[in-house]
Amino acid sequence: MKKTVYIHIGVHKTGTSTIQNLLSNNRDVLKEQGIIYPGNKSAHHDMAKEFRTLPLEQILKKNSRSQAYLREIIESPAEKSILSSEVFETLIFNAGKLREFLPHDLEIKIIVYLRRQDDLLESKYNQRVREPQIRLEKSFTDYFSSIGLYNPKLDYYNKLTPWADSFGKENLIIRIYEKDKLRGNLFNDFISVIGLENADSIKVPDLAVNTSWSWDIIEFMRICNNSFRKDDGMHDFLLRSLAKARVVEKEKKRLLSPQQRREIIAHYADSNAKVAREYLGREDGRLFYAPLPNLDEPWEPNKGLTVEKVVPIFMQMLHNLDKEMNKRSHTKNILSKKSHFFNKITNNRFIQSKNVYSYFQKRNRR
Amino acid sequence: MKNLYLHIGAHKTGTTAIQKFLSMNRDNLKKKGYLYPGIHDAHHFIPEKILMGNQLHDDSKNHIEQLFKEIQSSDLKNIIISSENFENLKEKVPELKNLLKNKFDCKIIYYVRRQDERLESLYRGNVKNPTNRLQDTLAEYYTKFDTVSDYYSLLSPWREAFGEKNIFVRVYEKGQLPHGIYQDFLTIIGLEWDNNLNIPTNQINRGLGWDLTEIIRLCNIQFPNDPNLHQFLVRNLSKVQINEKEKNYYGLSPQQRRNIVKHYDKSNVKVAREYLGREDGRLFYAPLPDPNEPWEPYEGLTIEEIVPIFTQMLYNMDLKYQKKFRKLHRHTISGKNYGFGKYLSGIRLRIIQILKR
């Protein structure tokens, strides 16, 4: 029987970090069930980056990361293996390179999650403000106008075509990232896709990873990005302290108006319908089942930060700083107690090491 | 007779920078024959002593005695003394003259700044000042503009005491200081610029921006009796670096600024004619603000301004504690190892001692 390799290629902002976290935390459990997740990192971004930047000859050399992962897959007795990185999604022109690299006696399945473009756009903005390499300074309206209503990067049919050409349509497993569409939750959905029979022993992490932040905190971060463009330490501090800050929200606010969302959906409608027909065999051409945004639903543009919003954020930051310092002063006490303990021994009248030590030192010098 | 260059101010004309510069270059100046006595940056204790009279404890008296001793024992021909507080002496100038006892050939150096700029600078300085802790808005402060500084009447007691030819008035204005304040000061005392001289790197006593001043002012109103908090604020806010797009922003409207300059016009003309020998009576060359030029009043703090400032304060605090903790950690860890190593070697030595017995 052929070995199967599942390649989870994204797309960005469809819970990839959460899935990767689940897989890397359960390496041992998966191995027992005949599935390997190669390497020891949480994901295989390094492999995907090699395909994006290096020519094939260089990847085929023995010391590349991709070769190391492939060797692990081939040498292991396990029948199934998983590679996961959302960076693979960007390999539009390089999917063929990946096909050439992988030996033909392996059966390749490509797993890709799709999310409706209006949701994706907001989520992307949320990510780009936080991302240390990007640190977006634009307000959402500016960002939205720079992306435009239609962007080929978000066109799923375009995106999937090179993958289908290289690996075959039947080997693409397309899942819809939509709350109702996922069986149970994201974890169960992914587990069912890779065909894991005994899923009970999998340790499911309590928290989702890399969840999107509240818009108030994103706005806060954006203002800081604007003022401290080059300060890496500052960005790190902000990520650290703002990730802990909580803002109470009854419901996740939308930045796009229902009208704008409808327009976006309309621009991608053809492409989405083609994906539904050709890859999922849905005659009606419906890719996403969530209802279209209701034009009458109450919506207000995001008004930005107000004093009422900023004050609690600052107070939480201060509180966290204080907590951290208390923790530190606690360890400081322990440390000083320990050193005190040793000092007590060394200053013991019976031993009087100091005097003896210095006495001998002096004598030796003479 | 020794030359004594007395730099008497005024406030807000780069005095702190000049003092820092002189004190940094003490040795260099000594080689050129100029003495900047003492070890501190400035000589504020002399005007303090004269102003406070006998109320002051003996410390400053000792300071002055020490200072004269140093001057007498030195064989350098030129002496520089600097404090912007000399400016406040006014009718007590003769007392200073008595103190100097005709031993010196005195030269008075006084920088003047146009009164509208000076008022804004004084306002910001007073909010920042730990003793004043001003609570007024700029508009309220503006109403007292007639007390800012009448340079002519301020200079007349000095003229009476030391003679007109010994008073050097300089104008603190970008166009009239083409080579910067340090070089200008050196040329008055008769020195040439030299590349060996050190220039203070970070800006000294830099005025805080309007936003930072506003934060301190609001806290002055809320906590009028808390000098510690004030000190904390000034210390932490001076470290904050924000994009200062408002560098050329004036808090006063063009009309208000014109009013101030007009109020002091006569006095300024007299200063220009009598001290600088300018027939046209123009003391300041910078053009007056156009009353119709676009100007908006300061709108107070907005969220976009507060967020970066507070975040940076928090960040600086975080950095500070991290550094402190790292140092402490290293210290205790190494201390422990050292102690334990000593402890072991101590036991060994003890055993050897016992065996030898």
Mutation site, B318, B326, B327, B329, interface A, largest A CB count within 10 A: B318
Task: Flag if B343 and A345 touch (Cβ within 8 Å).
Answer: yes
The answer to whether A357 contacts B350, with C-beta atoms less than 8 Å apart, is: no
Residue type, B356: K
Q: What is the mean pLDDT of residues A204-218?
A: 79
Confidence at residue A112, expressed as pLDDT on a 0 to 100 scale = 93
A139 touches chain B (CB under 8 A): no
Q: How confident is the model at residue B341 (pLDDT cuts 50, 70, 90)?
A: low
Candidate from A318, A339, A345 with C-beta closest to B332: A339
Tell me if B37 sits within 8 A of B70, measured CB to CB. yes
Contact of A223 with chain B, judged by CB distance below 8 Å, is answered with yes
Does the beta-carbon distance from A339 to B311 stay under 8 Å?
no
Backbone angles phi, psi at B259, to 5 degrees: -60, -45
Residue pair A6/A80 in contact (Cβ under 8 Å)? The answer is: yes
Residue B337 has pLDDT above 50, yes or no: no
- In a 3-state reduction of DSSP, which class is residue B269? helix
Q: Is A330 on the interface with B (CB under 8 A)?
A: no
Q: What percent of chain B has pLDDT over 70?
A: 89
Q: How far apart are CA B309 and CA B314, in angstroms?
A: 9
Contact A321/B317, CB-based, under 8 Å?
Answer: yes
Q: What pLDDT, in 10s, does the model give residues B83-139? A: 998 988 888 888 888 888 888 889 999 999 999 989 988 998 899 988 889 999 998
Q: Of A49, A31, A34, which Cα lies nearest the Cα of A85?
A: A49
Q: Is B188 or B300 the better-scoring residue by pLDDT?
A: B188
The pLDDT assigned to B345 comes to 67
Q: What local confidence, expressed as pLDDT, does residue B210 receive?
A: 85
Among the partner residues A223, A321, A353, nearest to B342 by beta-carbon distance? A353
B168 pLDDT more than 60: yes
Q: What is the pLDDT of residues A94-139, one digit of tens each?
A: 788 888 899 988 999 999 999 999 989 999 999 999 988 889 999 9
Contacting residues for A55 by C-beta, under 8 A, at least 6 apart? none
Element (H, E) at A187: helix A186-193
Task: With residue B47 as reference, give the H or E element that holds it.
Answer: helix B45-52
Confidence of residue B342 (pLDDT cuts 50, 70, 90): low
Q: Shortest CA distance to B37 belongs to which of B80, B7, B4?
A: B80
CA trace torsion A166, A172, A176, A182 (10° rounding): -150
Predicted local confidence at residue B336, as pLDDT: 46
pLDDT at residue A188 greater than cutoff 70:
yes
| B129 CB within 8 Å of a chain A CB | no
pLDDT digits (tens, 9 = 90+) for A346-364: 555 544 445 555 555 666 6
Using only the alpha carbons of chain B, give its radius of gyration: 26
| CB-based contact A346 B335, cutoff 8 Å | no
- Across the range A59-76, mean pLDDT stands at 90
Pair A183, A189: CB distance under 8 Å? yes
B236: confidence class by pLDDT, cuts 50, 70, 90:
confident
Under the banding of pLDDT at 50, 70 and 90, the label for residue A44 is very high
pLDDT > 90? residue B295: no
Residue A278: its pLDDT value, please?
92
Residue-wise DSSP of A70-116: HHHHHHSS-SEEEEE-GGGGG-TTTHHHHHHHS-TTEEEEEEEEE--
What average pLDDT does chain B have? Answer: 84
Q: Residue A343 — pLDDT band, cuts 50, 70, 90?
A: low
| Averaged pLDDT for residues B228-240 | 87
Report yes or no: A279 and A174 within 8 Å, Cβ to Cβ.
yes
Q: What's the whole-number average pLDDT of chain A?
A: 84
Q: Return the pLDDT at B346.
A: 67
List the Cα angle A249/A250/A256 in 5-degree steps.
75
What pLDDT score does A334 carry?
A: 67
The three-point CA angle B13-B19-B24 to 5° equals 140
Question: pLDDT tens digit string along A271-314?
Answer: 999 999 999 999 998 999 888 888 888 888 888 888 888 888 88
Q: For chain B, what's the residue count?
A: 357
CATH 3.40.50 assigned to domain B2-276? The reply is yes
Which B residues in the span 39-78 are in contact with A, Cβ-Cβ below 8 Å? none
Inter-chain CB proximity A305 and B307 less than 8 Å: yes
- The separation between the first and the last C-alpha atoms of chain B, rounded to the nearest angstrom, is 78
Contacts of A320 in chain B (CB under 8 A): none
Residue-wise burial string across A169-186, b where 16 or more C-beta atoms lie within 10 A, e elsewhere: eeebbbbbbbeeebeeeb
A358 contacts chain B (CB < 8 A)? no
Using the Cβ of B242 and the Cβ atoms of chain A, whether some distance falls under 8 Å is answered with yes
Asked if B138 contacts B252 with a C-beta cutoff of 8 angstroms, the reply is yes
